[in-house]
Amino acid sequence: MTDEPRETWPGQPFPLGASYDGLGTNFSVFSQVAESVTLCLIAEDGTEERVPLTEVDAHCWHEYVPGVGPGQRYGYRVEGPWDPANGLRCNSRKLLLDPYAKAVTGEVEWGQEVFGYDFDDPDQRNDLDSAGKVPVGVVHSPYFNWGDDRLLNTPLHETVIYETHVKGLTMTHPDVPERERGTYQGLAHPAVIDHLLDLGITAIELMPVHQFIHDGHLADKGLRNYWGYNTIGFFAPHADYSASGTTGEQVQEFKGMVRAMHEAGIEVILDVVYNHTAEGNHMGPTLSFRGLDNQAYYRLVPDDRRHYFDTTGTGNSLNMAHPYSLQLIMDSLRYWVTECHVDGFRFDLASTLARQFYEVDRLSAFFDLVHQDPIVSQVKLIAEPWDVGEGGYQVGNFPPVWSEWNGQFRDTIRDHWRGEPHTVPELASRLTGSADLYSDETRSPVASINFVTAHDGFTLRDLVSYNEKHNDANGEDGKDGESHNRSWNCGAEGETDDPEVLALRARQQRNLLATLLLSQGVPMLLGGDELGRTQGGNNNAYCQDNEISWFDWDEVDEDLLEFTRRCIGIRREHPVLRRRRWFFGQEIRGNVDIEWYKPDGAAMEDHDWEGAPRTIGLYMDGRGIRSRDTRGRPIIDDSFLLLISAEPDPIDWQLPEMDGAWVVELDTALPAGVADEVRTVTDDIELVPRSTVLLRFRPADEDGADER
């Protein structure tokens, strides 16, 4: 530690964080309970220069330090009350990370030093110094050449989301230079972007890139927090994903990745974890928020303020009733949009954010702030609409401007294709946008983010290969992960050489993908499903930062990849498959926009829905679209008949009597979904067991021949 005094100026309380202006840096941090706050400027050898923050406005402690610029490491020490029973946990012996740090370097070295209590006597305060054992903030340069970059604002009904992981997607890609693998730079590599473009993806949804830590219990087992749902820095791109450095370079590299994606026409959506932090429960470490102002940042149990109110299953929940917690979240969201140009957010366990008090409240302060914010309200907002607390399952209950991960879509589609009875009525709802969940005067089909698989669960290939989870590598005796997966192994558990089982699995993957990509709503594809990616039956690979989770680019299912391309291409080319408005079953321009059919060619009546077989036909009239295009003109498209059969035996479908013929656009009985030559049918078509066929109607007077 140096004793040489440093010149400081009063500075400003806002913005919070470390703000470099070209000559020096303004430091500001919030604490309502602090008695004093000291800024620690950390040299490369770990020595600290301590600068008291003497200015306080609105509970924000601040000082401007001339000559301090990008690359400077820093943290805070807070002197204040230590009274855990009343929710107070200040301890100046703990070096604290700035909640507003735009860049973070270093990892937690797990030991007694990073905890505020004594391992042998948890009621006793521990005064070991945590410096050198915890991550610290880094002053970064805010300057970046964005050129003419802007938010893409791709309409939701034209959006196809690809959920992926920075490291997993790129770690083994043969065309990405080795030093760039697993990084933002690798994600921006032309080979990766070309794959996404070739597939037809319009938006990538990145699993958490906010700075996170690796849990101590995982480190003890030689594992790492791969998924990243353990945030400690809500403004900082995770440093481990940087190829260029961790002292501010990660910020520039992240921005460069976003710019490259935008140049390719691909939006960037961040999976964000504002519901809790990495500090865990009352037995967790003191890294940042806990030591700054425990009561302000965290929800505490009202009658036992030693403990945390936990609706996340992680040990803590952020205090959504406190104005500075809400400000932290809103400041973070605005930062990622305005300074990093991201196009939207997927909110992990979003119901927790709506718990201003106890219940999930559609009128909570968080929703009010989001809806009123001129920046945040204009980007894509996607909720994971549940948490683990009472009343936490809120599918369909989020307010306007929000879309939601539709877990009921996932469950219904899985149940149908594994052969569960009586799924057809609900299947019909899911195919048409889940109007039973989202149909009111303020929402439309794009409120539903449709998915069959996601990071949390089986991959597509594993969904058709395993009845049971196989999570031995996680070291939790198989107790972790979901046990009821609605999966079906098609006759053999795991790897097999049985050609019949393999053929059925391949067809089932195509069925699931076709149902996902041809349904109304916004489809989300789990990254790697198009390649046939497997995790060996592990449905909870949160700690597997290795080949279990990484994409295997040497083992690509080329037929499945081509099939996925075709499904997305058909969706892109035909607006009847991605409507902005609900079907009404009414005449529009003289045509009924939607109709349901039975295998005998007759339209379904009300009584047909009860006890219906596991097969259904959906007719969508391309002349019955209520919406207009961007120039106000009527939208006229081809008409389609989607035939879906989860029956174990072949089904002979009588096609509706219409003046023309039907062209087979997609058939999941075929490896790539389509034959080499155009196939036209007029009267009937046989569906092989467990298959999907998409037919396009060609009127009798239509000129010209179809081409592939």
pLDDT, tens digit (0-9, with 9 covering 90-100), for 23-48: 999 999 999 999 999 999 999 999 99
Give the full edge-to-edge strand order of the sheet including 36-42: 48-52, 36-42, 73-79, 136-138, 104-105
Residue 591 has pLDDT above 70, yes or no: no
Mean pLDDT of the chain: 94
CA atoms within 13 A on the CB side of 545: 17
Nearest alpha carbon to residue 348 among 396, 281, 395, 405:
405
Contact (Cβ atoms closer than 8 angstroms) between residue 104 and residue 97: yes
**The token pair that represents 607 in the structure block:** 């009584």
For the segment 262-273, the average pLDDT, to the nearest whole number, is 98
Confidence of residue 628 (pLDDT cuts 50, 70, 90): confident
Model pLDDT for residues 426-458, shown as the tens digit of each residue? 999 999 999 999 977 789 999 999 999 999 999
Residue 360 is predicted with a pLDDT of 63
For the segment 154-179, the average pLDDT, to the nearest whole number, is 98
CA separation for the pair 584, 600 (Å, rounded): 24
DSSP assignment letter at 247: S
Residue 361 is predicted with a pLDDT of 66
DSSP labels, 487-504: ---TTSSSS---HHHHHH
Confidence of residue 224 (pLDDT cuts 50, 70, 90): very high
Sequence-ordered list of residues with C-beta below 8 angstroms from that of 391, at least 6 positions apart, any chain: 351, 359, 360
For the segment 456-465, the average pLDDT, to the nearest whole number, is 98
Contact (Cβ atoms closer than 8 angstroms) between residue 562 and residue 616: no
CA separation for the pair 227, 542 (Å, rounded): 5
Nearest alpha carbon to residue 172 among 563, 533, 427:
533
**The token pair that represents 503 in the structure block:** 């053929």
For the segment 516-521, the average pLDDT, to the nearest whole number, is 98
Residue 221 has pLDDT above 60, yes or no: yes
Residue 145 has pLDDT above 60, yes or no: yes
For the segment 128-133, the average pLDDT, to the nearest whole number, is 98
Model pLDDT for residues 551-585, shown as the tens digit of each residue? 999 999 999 999 999 999 999 999 999 999 988 87
For the segment 596-608, the average pLDDT, to the nearest whole number, is 93
For the segment 397-405, the average pLDDT, to the nearest whole number, is 91
Residue corresponding to tokens 């239509």: 702
Q: List the single range of 103-107, 288-292, 383-387 with lowest mean pLDDT.
A: 383-387
Residue 387 is predicted with a pLDDT of 75
DSSP assignment letter at 298: B
In DSSP terms, 402 is beta-bridged to 381
Residue corresponding to tokens 């996932």: 410
Residue 627 is predicted with a pLDDT of 85
Residue 442 is predicted with a pLDDT of 82
Confidence of residue 5 (pLDDT cuts 50, 70, 90): confident
Identify whether 384 is a catalytic site residue. Answer: yes
Q: What percent of the chain has pLDDT over 90?
A: 86
Nearest alpha carbon to residue 189 among 198, 176, 202, 179:
176
Sequence-ordered list of residues with C-beta below 8 angstroms from that of 219, at least 6 positions apart, any chain: 110
Residue 250 is predicted with a pLDDT of 98
Residue 208 is predicted with a pLDDT of 98
Q: List the single range of 252-256, 310-314, 652-656 with lowest mean pLDDT.
A: 310-314
Residue 3 has pLDDT above 90, yes or no: no
Residue 637 is predicted with a pLDDT of 93
Instruction: Read off the pTM.
Output: 0.97
Q: Taking the CA atoms of 304, 309, 310 and 316 in sequence, report the sign of the dihedral they define.
A: negative
Residue 586 is predicted with a pLDDT of 64
In DSSP terms, 615 is beta-bridged to 645
Q: Which of 180, 205, 384, 462 is catalytic?
A: 384
Which residue blocks in 574-684 are alpha helix, DSSP H?
none
Confidence of residue 707 (pLDDT cuts 50, 70, 90): low
Model pLDDT for residues 54-79, shown as the tens digit of each residue? 999 999 999 999 999 999 999 999 99
Nearest alpha carbon to residue 530 among 559, 501, 550:
559
Q: Which of 63, 163, 348, 593 is catalytic?
A: 348
Residue 357 is predicted with a pLDDT of 56
Strands (DSSP E) found in 388-529: 402-405, 448-450, 522-526
Nearest alpha carbon to residue 223 among 551, 550, 541, 552:
541
Residue 358 has pLDDT above 70, yes or no: no
Confidence of residue 159 (pLDDT cuts 50, 70, 90): very high
Q: Alpha-carbon dihedral of residues 580, 583, 587, 589, nearest 10 degrees?
A: 20
**The token pair that represents 98 in the structure block:** 């700035």
Confidence of residue 356 (pLDDT cuts 50, 70, 90): low
For the segment 194-198, the average pLDDT, to the nearest whole number, is 98
Residue 280 is predicted with a pLDDT of 97
Burial (Cβ within 10 Å: 0-12, 13-18, ≥19) of residue 135: buried
Residue 706 is predicted with a pLDDT of 58
Phi and psi torsions of 251, nearest 5°: -70, -50
